[in-house]
Amino acid sequence: MPQVNIGVLVSGNGTNLQSLIDNINAGNINAKIKVVISDRINAYGLIRAEGCGIDTVYVGRKNFKDEKEFNRAIIYELNKRNVQLVVLAGYLKILSGEFINEYKNKIINIHPSLIPSFCGRGYYGEKVHKAILDYGAKVTGATVHFVNEEADAGPIILQSPVMVDEDDTVDSLKNKVLKTEHKLLPEAVRLFCEGRITVDGRKVTIKE
């Protein structure tokens, strides 16, 4: 299959972005990251991308009159690079309906829990891990899913569990889950780029 053009959206450190870069460079994923876009000008994910020779773009919400214009600016940057898959790697903005329709079943997100638990609006970053510890859950994990109009509610592609130990803190749990994320997200992207993923309603099937 031909190489897939990927656009990655980040808001922070970009460790999941790095896992994608490493896997692409190792020949595990038949793709090229055409652009990394951030809504935060000081996101370290932009520095990671620049260091690897990847185009970077800062698109800040404050520079646009409304969410529609903001999202259209991102769509423009993706379209002009012929991006075929959008990966949200720690991107904290909610995408517009227009954006989601433009890339229907072509936007992948990684979430630090086993959806449908501890997900949706307000559940992001360390807030997820704190909620898991406060609840006393014994198992958490990571989920890669397609993005739809509702936060963390799109069809699930892959999931992997992570045990919660009695002495876990927010930081220790976050680090354990991140290790799983760094394996799960590249695997989902690899499967997509190999044309092995099909979506029927909420059900995702992975071809052998």
Catalytic residues: 111
Q: b or e along 32-58 (b: 16 or more beta carbons within 10 Å of the residue's beta carbon)?
A: ebbbbbbbbeebbbbebbeeeebebbe
* Cα gap 186→205, rounded to integer Å: 17
- The H or E element that residue 54 is part of is none
Q: From CA 199, how far away is CA 87, in angstroms rounded?
A: 17
Q: In angstroms, how far apart are the furthest CA atoms of the chain? A: 49
**Backbone phi, psi, residue 40, to 5°:** -125, 125
At residue 153, the 3 state secondary structure works out as: coil
> For 39-96, where are the E strands, in sequence order?
55-58, 85-88
